[in-house]
Copies of this chain bind each other. A is one copy, B any other.
Amino acid sequence: MPMTRPAVATLSLALALACTTSVAAAPKAPANARSMQEIIDASRPSDWRRLDPRDTLYLDLANGHRVVVELAPRFAPQHVAQVRTLAHEGYWNGLSILRSQDNFVVQWGDPEEDAAKKKPTGSAKKHLPAEFTFASKSAPGWTRLPDVDGWAPQVGFVDGIPAGHDPKANTYWMAHCYGAVGAGRNNEADSSDGTELYVVTGQSPRQLDRNMSMVGRVVQGMEWLSTIPRGTGPLGFFEKPEQRVGIRAIRLAADVPESERTNVEVMRTDSPLFAELVEARRNRRDAFYKVQSHHIDLCNVPLPSREAKR
């Protein structure tokens, strides 16, 4: 039946994407260029990185589905520490997803607006600094994408996370790609306390880059968040409590018995294999594509994940 072939990609030489600075333009693809699937199939264990249970969050929805988030402490260390504390103390258990705005974000937290009645935050800090960017002369594992980007001087990956980089200011920040997890705030830059988190479910809203403290990325289960019916109130908030999707628990994997863990590994982004995958997606070599892009946007780069063997 006629269909849009989506995924089957192809091609490429291992570009020197994996080094700290890297790459300008892509060489011509060889005839024997491999597809994304062939690249994944040919990967070795060292091309993958198992999630650290201390940096892994399970969002277990009341409907039984699990969303796996990898925390990214390099970007916003105090916010990530706060999220670990809140999860460890069960802060979100029994709360719910409050907002689902089409082509933008879902968001969860405490629906109570009366400060006196809000759920206690235990040993979490009452105040956190804004952590929109981090400064580093060269972020470990920085893998630059070769292509132009309108939102940042450079883009690439830090610790497997899509990121922007300003080489003049020596700063890096998490990009608002599909699945990015950030801390909601009010107008004041330092008004996020980590209790209210949002996940990007729509076209990358990169105007938020450098404006938010970002804590991680969904690596599995995005489909359980992206299909939540949209809220009909302003900003996609649910107008009636019964419309909210309940949260059974948000826990650190380290706090979950091994038998209940979801063991996930993600492809390393600082390897020649990943560079080959990027190039395969910059120029699709399979028979479906009649015109090739010679380009990929940061938020279109696939970040493979899979079940890790115990």
By a beta-carbon cutoff of 8 Å, the part of chain A in contact with chain B is 1-7, 99, 101-105, 107, 109-113, 130, 132, 147-151, 177-178, 182-187, 189, 191-193, 195-196, 198, 202-212, 222-223, 226-230, 235, 281, 284, 287-293, 295-297, 299-300
How many angstroms from the CA of A261 to the CA of B4 in the assembled complex? Answer: 31
A297 x B150 contact (CB < 8 A):
yes
How near does chain B come to A3, taking the closest CB pair, in angstroms?
A: 5
- Nearest chain-B residue to A118 (Cβ)? B1
**Pairs across A and B, CB under 8 Å, 13 listed:** A1-B113, A2-B192, A3-B99, A3-B184, A4-B185, A5-B187, A103-B178, A130-B290, A132-B290, A150-B293, A150-B296, A203-B203, A227-B230
B207 x A290 contact (CB < 8 A):
no
B177 x A203 contact (CB < 8 A):
yes
A207 x B284 contact (CB < 8 A):
yes
User: Could you tell me the dominant secondary structure of chain A's interface residues?
Assistant: loop
Residues in B neighbouring A227, C-beta threshold 8 A: 226-230
How many angstroms from the CA of A6 to the CA of B107 in the assembled complex? Answer: 12
A211 x B107 contact (CB < 8 A):
no
Residues in B neighbouring A107, C-beta threshold 8 A: 3-4
Residues in B neighbouring A209, C-beta threshold 8 A: 291, 293
Residue from the list B1, B203, B207, B210 in contact with A281, Cβ < 8 A: B207
B184 x A4 contact (CB < 8 A):
yes
How near does chain B come to A131, taking the closest CB pair, in angstroms?
A: 12
- Nearest chain-B residue to A105 (Cβ)? B4
Residues in B neighbouring A196, C-beta threshold 8 A: 1-3
Given contacts A1-B110, A2-B196, 11 further A-B contacts (CB under 8 A): A1-B196, A2-B191, A3-B184, A4-B184, A148-B150, A150-B293, A178-B202, A187-B287, A187-B288, A203-B300, A211-B288
A4 x B226 contact (CB < 8 A):
no
Residues in B neighbouring A101, C-beta threshold 8 A: 6
A290 x B189 contact (CB < 8 A):
yes
- Nearest chain-B residue to A281 (Cβ)? B207
A4 x B212 contact (CB < 8 A):
yes
Residues in B neighbouring A186, C-beta threshold 8 A: 2-3
A289 x B207 contact (CB < 8 A):
yes
A290 x B4 contact (CB < 8 A):
no
A235 x B151 contact (CB < 8 A):
no
- Nearest chain-B residue to A99 (Cβ)? B3
Residues in B neighbouring A5, C-beta threshold 8 A: 187, 235
How near does chain B come to A279, taking the closest CB pair, in angstroms?
A: 13
A202-B178, A203-B204 known; A226+B103 contact, CB < 8 A: yes
How near does chain B come to A47, taking the closest CB pair, in angstroms?
A: 23
How near does chain B come to A93, taking the closest CB pair, in angstroms?
A: 18
Residue from the list B102, B210, B300 in contact with A222, Cβ < 8 A: B102
How many angstroms from the CA of A47 to the CA of B112 in the assembled complex? Answer: 41
Residues in B neighbouring A99, C-beta threshold 8 A: 3
How near does chain B come to A100, taking the closest CB pair, in angstroms?
A: 8
